[in-house]
Structure 1
């Protein structure tokens, strides 16, 4: 493949990924609430033997989360959707909640790789998607300037507050739908990928 063709393909993939990243947060703002009871029974961290996620592939962004894990400093990572997208990538989205009593600055979540850590502070750039069946680990996609195709929190997460996030990865082969989402020191969160959304 020549350089011009590779550059064109890379630009196309970046444009598709950015478009999906911009549409995803807007889709989460659809309301749909009935203004009813906001007091819900607290959910315990959950995961099963194969990493959690249950039978609900992909998720819809509403209702029960696909996976929820709790790490140190009372940080809860919730995965609300994990879907294959046209263009050969996967978008995983959810929220992170600071249940502790102090400000949380996402230590290590930007990853250990210097290029990612430098350009993606307070982000989920260090996330990985692990395909156990295919025995591969997928890293967050990034553009040619080293910026991840993922959320940046912008500011530290205040005590008792939540922030939404998303991250895009290369897609595992069709049929390899059970994956684990891993980031920093959080326990792995097992999910089943849904079809194109």
Structure 2
């Protein structure tokens, strides 16, 4: 048996082994044709929201607007509307709502909404200036930060809100004590608003 014959046989065997491996990999990684088995979790790693959400014509995700906890009139015809203030099992309190432009013209979003912390300035526009006050426990809560010091709130939004349009938002805070059922929302350009926690 010549060396060339053995070398050709090895190449053929390696090619066959590679083809079989690829076939098995393709079968194992194949899709589910869009069908989920009952009890199987979603393919996405992000947890689905408990709230009802819709999308507007631009594809923006909007919060559930079926109830309103509070509406606060702000400067230049901007209303701050909070729809949900909900605790979750991780010890957080998440607010969802919208800023609605009730004026007849486009309003530029104030730079003060981002707060004064230099550490979060690189995030760009944000709602890092939003705070909650628990007067019962005499504590103030700030928007949480991730490990890269980015605020856990709506960021990088447009520099203005067109007339009649809304800017949906969320903001996540540490949850107050279980005995606390109301907190005061403070945000630049708006009067303090009392919010009931669900």
Q: TM-score scaled to structure 2, two decimals?
A: 0.66
| Residues 71-90 of structure 1: per-residue CA shift (max 9 Å, x gap) | 11111000000010111110
Aligned mate of 1:29, from 39, 54, 57: 54
Q: CA RMSD in A?
A: 2.4
Are the aligned partners of 2:125 and 2:155 in contact in 1 as well (CA < 8 Å)?
A: yes
In the superposition, the TM-score normalised over structure 1's length comes to 0.67
Number of aligned residue pairs: 146
Look at both structures and tell me which one has the larger radius of gyration over its CA atoms. 2
Consecutive unaligned residues of structure 1, counting only runs of 5 or more, are 1-17, 32-59
Say if 2:154 is the partner of 1:151: yes
Structure of greater relative contact order (alpha carbons < 8 Å, 6+ residues apart) = 1
**Cα distance in structure 2, aligned partners of 1:113 and 1:143:** 15
Q: Quick check: 1:188 aligned with 2:186?
A: no
Runs of 4+ in 1 over 4 A off after TM superposition: none
**3-state SS in 1 of match to 2:108:** coil
* Cα displacement string for residues 94-140 of structure 1 (whole angstroms, at most 9, x for unaligned residues): 00012232332233111111112x13332211110110101100000
User: How far apart are the structure 1 equivalents of 2:136 and 2:157?
Assistant: 35
Give unmatched runs, 5+ long, in structure 2: 1-44, 57-62
